[in-house]
Structure 1
């Protein structure tokens, strides 16, 4: 028992959390004549350490997830989901969403493809909610920052939102609020390719590079904002706005997250800095969920595929779910961290 706990602490602190990197970067900055305990040195320390850590974890995660994803091309995924019905199909779609792209904008084309292929609307929405909100990357990154309890509960609750949201949309019978061009889309059956291990490795490496190119700017911006919050924003201000002193902190974080556009990797450093400054756990996780699931650019893209009533229903379901998750994490924060 003790050995297992020691091994897990090593994995979380030194492999996922990269505490050795934190110390190394701090020593290098001190060597350059900067004091990491003051605002300027601390800002540089946070920025360099978090940027390297997130990029390394990102590359490893994308490679592994892309390798897994190579076994589930869209047509095969469609056939797998098509074998299930009712709640089971929603659960499977939500689970498959965890091994697909890291942001909502890249999930929308797959959602359109699945819908045009004839999958039930509620099932495709379970996929659409799950894909950006609870991918495997979020599990590992949250584990590296907040610990395994927070990470697992976050993912489970995200899946609950995805399954329940898709199920509700299915029961509301909103198929008529999907744009006609999607249902008229050409249904193409593609045979499974026989990929070798080398093919899958090449695909995974290519996916890693292209994804990194797309998200690196958001990571840099997110880490930059996080470093400023961590070293320049007064703790009292954060506590007053997003801490125990404000019962509406979850609402504020959720609404503020919608106009933003980033993925889980850009949100993590902001959430980490806010939590360190005294923001409640549920507040920072609500912000992350809102940014990754309901970003304004994603909603603009989605509006091209579905009509306002269905779009409004989707936004309302996700918003209510995110707010509930936020208050739940605020309630259990003292028990899990």
Structure 2
């Protein structure tokens, strides 16, 4: 058992966490005469290390995920999901979201396509919640920073939220609350291309490049904010606002995340910095989920596809779910850390 734990810690710290990279960067900066004990020096080391680590892991993971995705084009996905109903279909819709490396805004066109194809509205909303929220790439990055337990927690609660949210919307029969034009879009059934292995590799390369380009700015901003929190904001300030002593910490974290727009990869460095400052796991999860699932731009885009009643219901369900999850995991934090 001790050997297994040692191997897992090595994978978490050195393979995924790349602690060796942090030491290498520290050595290089010190060799250039930089004092890493100062706030500026520590911030620069944090920034360079996190940017390189996230982009490197992201590129590898997106390539693998995209290669797998090449076997599941939209037409095949629609046929698979169309075979099931009820909570099983919602669960499959949520799981589908885990292998789509999209932000909330880029998930909406797929949501429209699935709705137009006649899939139950609950399934499409389970996908819409899960897609930006739960990502296999994000899972690996979370493991590298927080460990396996918290990473698994994040994925599980994200999937539960997606399934429950989709199920509630399905039970309320909100089909008529989708804008009319969505159902009027001409659906074209394109034959699935018979791709060769080299074609799939090329597709994966293109998807990796496009995804990295898309999230690059968010990663830079996220790591920059994380560096500021990590090295410049006193722990007492963070604790007073988002610490366990503040009963409204989860609500504050959720409301702060709502107007923001960032990919899940941009929120991870901020979450890492908050974690080192002693912020509760539930509060961090609430912040990450609010940013990725309920960003203001995605809500504005979604409004073009659904009517106000359904939009308000969607935002209300997800917001309440995020807050409940935050408080629950703050209360149970002792079980995971």
What range is the shorter-chain TM-score in?
Answer: over 0.9
How many residues are paired up? 337
2:317 and 2:200 mapped to 1: Cα distance? 37
Displacement of 1:334 in angstroms is: 2.0
Decide whether the 8 Å contact of 2:14 with 2:20 is kept in 1. yes
8 Å contact kept, 2:63–2:205: yes
Q: How far off is 1:327 after superposition?
A: 1.1
The Cα offsets for residues 219-270 of structure 1, whole Å up to 9 and x where unpaired, read as: 1011001001100001100011101221111000101101111011100000
* Equivalent-residue separation in structure 2 for 1:257 and 1:271 (angstroms): 12
Partner of 1:303: 303
Matches within 5 A, 1:142-181: 142-181=142-181
Partner of 2:240: 240
Stretches of structure 2 lacking an aligned partner (at least 5 in a row) = none
TM, length-normalised to structure 1 = 0.98
> Could you say what secondary structure the match of 2:332 adopts?
helix
The equivalent of 2:331 in structure 1 is 331
**Deviations, residues 57-103 of structure 1 (Å, cap 9, x unaligned):** 11011101111111111111000000111111001111111001331
Q: Structure 1 runs of 4+ off > 2 angstroms?
A: none
- Give 1:220's aligned residue: 220
Structure 2 SS opposite 1:14? helix
Equivalents in 1 of 2:34, 2:219: separation in Å? 24
Q: 2:109 matched to which residue of 1?
A: 109
Aligned mates of 2:288, 2:97 — CA distance in 1: 17
Would the aligned equivalents of 1:101 and 1:107 in 2 still touch at CA under 8 Å? Answer: no
Report the CA distance between 1:160 and its aligned residue: 0.6
Corresponding residue for residue 283 of structure 1: 283
Within a 5 Å distance, the mapping from 1:61-140 to structure 2 comes to 61-140=61-140
Structure 1 residue 209 displacement after superposition: 0.5
User: Would the aligned equivalents of 1:102 and 1:264 in 2 still touch at CA under 8 Å?
Assistant: no
Residues 62 and 101 in structure 2, CA contact (< 8 A), matched pair in contact too:
no
Once the two structures are TM-superposed, the CA of residue 3 in structure 1 deviates from its matched residue by: 2.1
When normalised by structure 2's length, the TM-score is: 0.98
* Contact 2:25–2:49, Cα closer than 8 Å, also in 1: yes
1:187 paired to 2:187: yes
Write out per-residue CA displacement over residues 23-61 of structure 1, whole angstroms, 9 at most, x where no aligned residue: 111111111111212101011010000010000011011
d(CA) in 1 for partners of 2:105, 2:31: 43
1:39 alignment partner in structure 2: 39
Pairwise CA distance, 1:2: 2.1
